[in-house]
Structure 1
């Protein structure tokens, strides 16, 4: 189930956006639901922090009347918490793509508040989201990583892999998922080449799935993949922040 969050400090506008989203979801029976709408960025972020294990979509008003956050700064904070989250901006203005570039944000869509046209824009956005997520799910199902553990070959869906870690055993690597670890003969450099852009080397001993990163602690040089911690070397910090769009 994909969870949708809405932040707009205009209560009337926020209510209308939620109603239009929920009407489309009901008609199409998409596997999505609106779980929260609010107008205060700080409480919005606190709610997001409690929901990082799910795939989330965020509808954010650009013109928030807050002393610290506008929609772009809020989006930047969300990116730090939820690198996999999909951002949709709602605005009274057009041609705002340069602002998302300025903040190193990748927005999925922009919805312009324009009376009757808003509903059509929301409908098109949800249709595109549904298609994107369906394609991603199919791609994940199709991709399997095979490892030989002892005398047994095991197939692991790529979507389940959190990270690879060098083992204390020479020429061995440990594959981690949420509920298992597999020690096998391998080389982290070779695996990095095989896995491509979906994984990032955060440390000489760690290769982490970008979409599984839930938290980055620059002070203590660590990231969390799911609920597990991985090390980050100082020289890898810049590349890490660029890849996760923070």
Structure 2
């Protein structure tokens, strides 16, 4: 089945280049329409059902944030979204948390090819609440409170307030919640700075939510173990122990 897509982008040359690149990479793809502002974009999304939406971030009158907020108010079903943006790397992290694709301007053929390869008809619809939070987080340069994980082909929305700890096992990073543990496509090294001070890195393979800590049990050798509110046990390395004691009030 041919890929059907739409474009919301306020710069005509950018729209033309995107359509040309898509045609070169996927000759069977069909553009169902394009819009240069949020008003026309909303009308477009009311009337067509594409498999993929290429969405700019900043356009009149309120950009992607305003368009998505209005779409949610109207109860529109949106397709998977590929943001087209010139935002910096920190902003792109917010979109990664929302499990949506993004393309940096100027567009690169190889990156666009990856996007088209992942776009499938009847793919999982985005969670507009998570997308709106991701866009708001780009303004504040913060990590969004909610994030998504892929579970058996479906996108599950989680909140950091649900996570008791993160643990690396067999080269996979798991987030642990009351509903179970889920694989997260990140590394502890990149998350350590983003999630501080709410989370504390206790070990090269573990990080915990400070509010989830119930008890610290030091070992004679200088290492230790944390027992969390949910009964989980997390190791504490020797080099992390002094900072952890200070964080817990000098115990």
- Tell whether the structures are fold-level matches, with TM greater than 0.5: no
Which of these two proteins has the greater Rg computed from alpha carbons? 2
| TM-score, normalization by structure 2 | 0.42
Could you say which structure has the greater relative contact order, defined with CA pairs below 8 angstroms and 6 or more residues apart? 1
| TM-score, normalization by structure 1 | 0.42
